[in-house]
Amino acid sequence: MIKNIIFDFDGVLVDSETIVLKAFSKYMQECRIKTNEKELANLVGKPTIVVIDILSEKYFPENKKKFSDDVMNIASNIYKKELKKIVGVEEFLEKSKHNLYIGSNSLKDRILDGLKRVGLEKYFNSNQIYSLDLVDNPKPHPDIYLKAVNDNDLIIDETIIIEDSVVGVQAGQDANVKVIGLTAGGHWNKNRDEKELINAGAFVTANDYNKIQEIIESL
């Protein structure tokens, strides 16, 4: 029986994975530079600072700071105006009798702010939120999930992780926790194949929280 659920944040609780990429695309359009959609999709799940570093190195190697500042300003404005919770997640959390945790490549302050913006803050205690600034290595390293498990003495067989990205699934796999791949976020368009999460190590995928509920009840 599953007693503990560890949620990723971006793309699992809030539909935010496309925000930085949307900001980047807007910036590149203003600069009249063409980008590769598949290349951008492969960056989903990585820490924002890593995404910015990769893109600045490729497109603006001589002016990284200006690029980073400009894109982050655009992303911040989009985040404040457009952030939404994943469809069905609040109903799922409201009914859940599980111990709820978050394990994310985002910074803790950003997670707390995001939860408040979409009205999900009441479901998570601050000390049950594990973030990039609490560990040495981000996903795909397992550090974030291992810290959540070890700090709370979670039994692996009673724990499940919900992830939406390849790097997140890999992190869960390496922490030896079963991972459900969720494809409910806006970055999972019709051209993306959920098999990339299965290939990364997810034991099953779901495209909404009703299916997540069914999977967890069957374990």
pLDDT digits (tens, 9 = 90+) for 105-150: 999 999 999 999 999 999 999 999 999 999 999 999 999 999 999 9
Share of the chain above pLDDT 90, in %: 66
- Which band of pLDDT confidence, cut at 50, 70 and 90, is reported for residue 3? very high
Share of the chain above pLDDT 70, in %: 97
- Which band of pLDDT confidence, cut at 50, 70 and 90, is reported for residue 45? low
Q: pTM surpassing 0.95?
A: no
99: left (phi over 0), alpha (psi -120 to 50) or beta: beta
pLDDT digits (tens, 9 = 90+) for 145-171: 999 999 999 999 999 999 999 999 999
What architecture does CATH give domain 4-16+84-218? 3-Layer(aba) Sandwich (3.40)
Distance between CA atoms of 114 and 90, rounded to whole angstroms?
A: 14
Q: Whose CA is closest to 119, among 89, 149, 164?
A: 89
Distance between CA atoms of 8 and 212, rounded to whole angstroms?
A: 14
The first and second tokens of residue 124, run together, are 């998570």
